[in-house]
Amino acid sequence: MMVGSGGNTRMIKVALVTGGSAGIGLAIVDGFINEGYSVYNLDCHQGVHGHWLKCDVTDMNAIKTAVEYVLANETSIDVLVCNAGIYFSSTIEDTNEEALDRILAINVKGVYNAIRACIPSMRVAKKGSIVLLGSDQCTIAKAKSFAYNLSKHAIASIAKTTAIDYAKYNIRANTVCAGTTETQLYHKALDNYCSRSGEDKNKVHRKEEKLQPLDRIAQPMEIANLVVFLASDKASFITGSLHAIDGGYTTQ
């Protein structure tokens, strides 16, 4: 998008974020807005900031329609952030096919759909930055995390192969490997655990904090700040990389 007055014009960069209505996704949307981007949020749930487009990331046609809408209203898509995802805690024996299909559909196919829809226009423009939201489980394993861990390792792979295949078009792809972050979903998970176990929520939360060398868990905007940096020209020589932002958890 070009804006200006008095003969002076400037380009406003465009960022497309999946799952930008809450938690880390909302912080990412706000982060790009604060940097002057025109931001489109593709989410099934209503977004409060940016331009909200109702979209199920598992549906390729829905993603294509949303991307076509953005390109009809903007000159390009400069940044794609694949944030939409779900968590599922279970061993392989306790993960039925329905649960496996659902987590792979959202966490992996959703990323595939978004990149497939956006990258042709980036290729033509010969520029673009793709940032995928992974987790500390892109590089390590945790107990009772078979399907989720599988999906996050897949995301790391997608970023690496995309970076190699599209470097010649000046398209970068990186993964943000976020650790435990204080969101509504985090508190919901704690509430569910404490409901089952009878443990005190404050004590459980403190245990989570003590697992991190920095003695606390992340705030959503801290993750968003790294995403915005990786998408920017300041990170112009960074591609195919996994960036840990976990308070030192995976260094232990």
Catalytic residues: 148
- For residues 154 and 159, give the distance between their C-alpha atoms in angstroms, rounded to a whole number: 9
- For residues 63 and 211, give the distance between their C-alpha atoms in angstroms, rounded to a whole number: 38
CA distances from 151 to 146, 172, 220 (A): 9, 21, 21
DSSP state of 49: S
- For residues 181 and 186, give the distance between their C-alpha atoms in angstroms, rounded to a whole number: 7
SS3 252: coil
- For residues 18 and 80, give the distance between their C-alpha atoms in angstroms, rounded to a whole number: 8
- For residues 137 and 153, give the distance between their C-alpha atoms in angstroms, rounded to a whole number: 7
- Rounded to the nearest angstrom, the gap between the alpha carbon of residue 86 and the centroid of all alpha carbons in its chain is 11
Question: What does the block give as tokens for 34?
Answer: 């604060």
Task: Provide the residue count of the chain.
Answer: 252
CA torsion sign for 22, 203, 90, 146 is positive
Beta strand 8-11 pairing with 2-5: antiparallel
